Chains A and B, each alone.
Chain A
């Protein structure tokens, strides 16, 4: 099992460029998440999708858009990248039972994005 796969692993962008981070999970999980991790800030939730067909804003959604393409895939798009979006981005998935996340999150290995 591959688990959660993120692409690309590394990316350098110039200010104003756009890009999409891809995430796919093969565990048949209902819920998927995008987090960003910055030094001294821990992990902050950008967007999440509780189930296929739904997406919701997290703590820091500004400057990002997401698409839950199907149950397996959840992409994160930066329309006009800014230096403040330099970060490590993590995709995660989990089982959602009865509307409650009672289980663990499975994380991808991260995508390291630098915006110049």
Chain B
């Protein structure tokens, strides 16, 4: 079963606006990762946040993690048409099979020029 669930399923914004996607998960994690997938391509890693971190930045990306609420958010600032893609969160569990990632169903982001 999916561990992470992204919200919303689809998001459409104008170029220059900020885009926020959320991810909720069910069990304790070691880390949470965000990936991007352009249409017809493989997934590309964007950013990783560990369970003891609350916020992380990478360029125009900002990720937050709230372990008490079992949720994370990905903020893309000053979006561009080239940011149009599907975005997935993935979690690594803190026990048991802790070496495999479990992916959510993704958020489809459309940035209109």
Q: Which residues does A use to contact B, with CB under 8 Å? A: 4, 31, 33, 35, 40-45, 48, 50, 56, 58-59, 90, 92, 96, 99-110
Contact = CB atoms under 8 A, between A and B. Distances in A.
B14 interface: no
A102 B98 CA distance: 9
Contact of A48 (B33, B40, B42, B100): B100
Interface of B: 1-2, 30-31, 33, 35, 40-45, 48, 50, 88, 90, 92, 97-106
8 contacts: A33-B100, A42-B104, A45-B101, A92-B43, A96-B99, A101-B100, A104-B45, A110-B41
Contacts of A108: 42
B105 A41 contact: yes
Contacts of B48: 102-104
A100 B44 contact: no
A45 B4 CA distance: 14
B100 A58 contact: yes
Given A31-B99, A108-B42, A102 B105 contact: no
Nearest to A41: B105
A86 to B, nearest CB: 16
Contacts of B105: 40-42
Given A100-B98, A102-B31, A107 B103 contact: no
Residue with the highest number of chain A CB atoms closer than 10 Å, among B35, B41, B97, B99: B99
B41 A101 contact: no
Top 3 nearest A-B pairs (CB, nearest first) are A104-B45, A107-B42, A42-B105
B100 A109 contact: no
B30 A105 contact: no
B69 to A, nearest CB: 21
Given A102-B92, A110-B41, A110-B42, 18 more contacts: A40-B105, A42-B2, A42-B88, A43-B103, A45-B102, A48-B100, A92-B43, A100-B30, A100-B98, A100-B99, A101-B92, A101-B100, A101-B101, A102-B50, A104-B45, A105-B43, A109-B41, A109-B42
A31 B100 CA distance: 9
B11 to A, nearest CB: 16
